[in-house]
């Protein structure tokens, strides 16, 4: 297999984007990536579109995007793995370049969630749970993650303040990211006193539906090196699944797919959690970031709460996490998120993140979860 590099990144503004169709959102990010890499779009051999199609009115989204980007007649398809769709697309695109099928490909994450009515979105989201055994009884995602939080509190003594510290940190960094949906800090008091959603989770423990797009251009080693300068490589990939139904999970204090995917990625990259300098993890709810810290080996099981409260996940701490605001403050356009995470890590490795920059970042990680861990993808990016 050939080594694969990220040679271009693009990232649009996340939020309520009534100003643009989904294909316009895609173009905005794609154009930025093409300009940044300074390549001729005629070089792009194939496109992977990452999106969860049912949230848009437009069906057959990949076809619409490929036409709008002007990339016909080259092939295109859509890859979906719920909220991990962006990483699933990145994995399959990586594989095609590694195999030697294409020298340069595009991965376009794009999602427009605000054109459906809220009731439609709730109905759709509920059906991400097992419709035969669970969602018919009213389970929702905040409820699922509340189960994880309750279990973590009971077993390890995790506190509401520790959960809230995740939100405070991520809003702090969101306020420093011009592409974030919420560019406003939130105090501990504000988080703790926000409206209850599913006990113990409150509004500020939850990320928000958003519109938004991001784009990555991947290239073979030869093509990447021809551009000159340092290269950011995608050197470690891990991907795993776990049972759909909560009733078939053995433990609610960990996502087994995250543990397995990170094991694979670390092995492939030949580096462990101690070598990672910056990470983007899937904080769809505050408890999810705490689980991620433990599943990825950044701290021991049960220590995610105190670790966060102590500031170890801020810039200057042991492992800066979600310093772009995370899903929490940046927003969570579900199909786009995995691509957005990779864009942030690549830019961190290039030292291009301004006041959010993590000093000395040479190895970065993304952790992208679908559902309640039915899917998990972990990637390791290296600058050299």
Active site residues: 83, 332
262 touches 295 (CB < 8 A): yes
Distances (CA, A) of 304 to 3, 295, 296, 329, 359: 34, 10, 11, 20, 23
Nearest approach, Cβ of residue 41 and a second copy (Å):
14
Sole binder of a second copy in the list 244, 296, 329, 345 (CB under 8 A) = 244
- Of the listed pieces 8-16, 29-37, 234-242, 319-327, which binds a second copy according to CB under 8 A? 234-242
Q: Nearest CA to 324 among 345, 299, 339?
A: 345
Sole binder of a second copy in the list 16, 121, 124, 188 (CB under 8 A) = 124
Max Cα–Cα distance, the chain, nearest Å: 57
Nearest approach, Cβ of residue 226 and a second copy (Å):
22
Judged by CB under 8 A, the number of residues near a second copy is 61
Quick check: 106 binds a second copy (CB under 8 A)? no
Quick check: 114 binds a second copy (CB under 8 A)? no
Sole binder of a second copy in the list 14, 26, 28, 130 (CB under 8 A) = 130
264 touches 240 (CB < 8 A): yes
Nearest approach, Cβ of residue 319 and a second copy (Å):
25
200 — phi, psi (to 5°)? Answer: -90, 10
Binding mask 63-92 for a second copy (x = CB under 8 A): xx-xx---xxxxxxxxxxxx--x--x--xx
Alpha-carbon distance of 292 to 232, in angstroms, equals 24
Quick check: 371 binds a second copy (CB under 8 A)? yes
Q: Nearest CA to 107 among 353, 378, 356, 343?
A: 343
Nearest approach, Cβ of residue 371 and a second copy (Å):
5
- Kindly tell me the burial class for residue 79, based on how many C-beta atoms sit within 10 Å of its own C-beta (0-12, 13-18, 19 or more): buried
Q: Nearest CA to 323 among 290, 357, 354, 298?
A: 357
Beta carbon nearer to a second copy, 175 or 268: 268
Beta carbon nearer to a second copy, 256 or 351: 256
- Of the listed pieces 105-113, 119-127, 220-228, 297-305, which binds a second copy according to CB under 8 A? 119-127
Quick check: 127 binds a second copy (CB under 8 A)? yes
Indicate if the alpha-carbon torsion angle 16, 284, 84, 148 is positive or negative. negative
Beta strands in 171-311 (DSSP E): 196-198, 201-202, 212-220, 232-241, 278-280
Applying the rule CB under 8 A, the residues between 245 and 304 that interact with a second copy are 245, 248, 256-257, 260-261
Q: Nearest CA to 287 among 103, 381, 154, 119?
A: 154
Chain positions contacting a second copy, by CB under 8 A: 1, 21, 46, 52-54, 57-60, 62-64, 66-67, 71-82, 85, 88, 91-92, 95-96, 98-101, 124-125, 127-128, 130-132, 239-245, 248, 256-257, 260-261, 370-371, 374-375, 377
């Amino acid at each position: 297999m050939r080594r694969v590099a990220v040679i271009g990144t693009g990232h649009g503004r996340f939020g309520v984007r009534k100003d643009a169709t989904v294909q316009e959102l895609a173009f905005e990010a794609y154009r930025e990536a093409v300009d940044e890499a300074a390549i001729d779009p005629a070089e792009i051999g194939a496109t992977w579109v990452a999106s969860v199609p049912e949230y848009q009115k437009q069906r057959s989204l990949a076809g619409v995007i490929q036409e709008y980007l002007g990339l016909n007649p080259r092939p295109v398809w859509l890859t979906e793995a719920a909220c991990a769709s962006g990483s699933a697309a990145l994995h399959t695109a990586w594989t095609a370049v590694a195999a030697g099928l294409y020298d340069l490909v595009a991965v376009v994450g794009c999602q427009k969630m605000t054109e459906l009515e809220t009731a439609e979105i709730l109905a759709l989201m509920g059906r991400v749970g097992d419709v035969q055994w669970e969602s018919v009884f009213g389970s929702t995602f905040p409820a699922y993650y509340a189960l994880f939080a309750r279990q973590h509190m009971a077993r390890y003594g995790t506190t509401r303040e520790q959960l809230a510290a995740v939100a405070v940190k991520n809003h702090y960094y969101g306020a420093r990211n011009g592409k974030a949906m919420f560019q406003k800090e939130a105090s501990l008091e504000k988080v703790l006193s926000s409206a209850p959603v599913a006990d113990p989770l409150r509004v500020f423990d939850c990320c928000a539906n958003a519109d938004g797009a991001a784009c990555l251009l991947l290239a073979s080693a030869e093509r990447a090196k021809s551009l000159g300068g340092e290269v950011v490589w995608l050197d470690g990939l891990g991907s795993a699944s776990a049972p759909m139904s909560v009733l078939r999970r053995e433990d609610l204090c960990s996502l087994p797919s995250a543990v397995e995917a990170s094991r694979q990625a670390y092995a492939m990259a030949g580096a462990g959690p101690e070598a990672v300098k910056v990470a983007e993890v899937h904080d769809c709810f505050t408890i999810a970031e705490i689980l991620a810290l433990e599943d990825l080996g950044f701290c021991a099981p049960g220590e995610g709460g105190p670790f966060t409260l102590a500031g170890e996940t801020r810039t200057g701490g042991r492992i800066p996490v979600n310093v772009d605001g995370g899903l929490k403050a940046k927003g969570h356009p579900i199909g786009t998120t995995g691509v957005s995470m990779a864009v942030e890590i690549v830019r961190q490795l290039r030292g291009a993140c301004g006041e959010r920059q993590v000093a000395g970042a040479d190895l970065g990680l993304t952790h992208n979860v679908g559902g309640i861990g039915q899917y998990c993808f972990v990637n390791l990016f290296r600058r050299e």
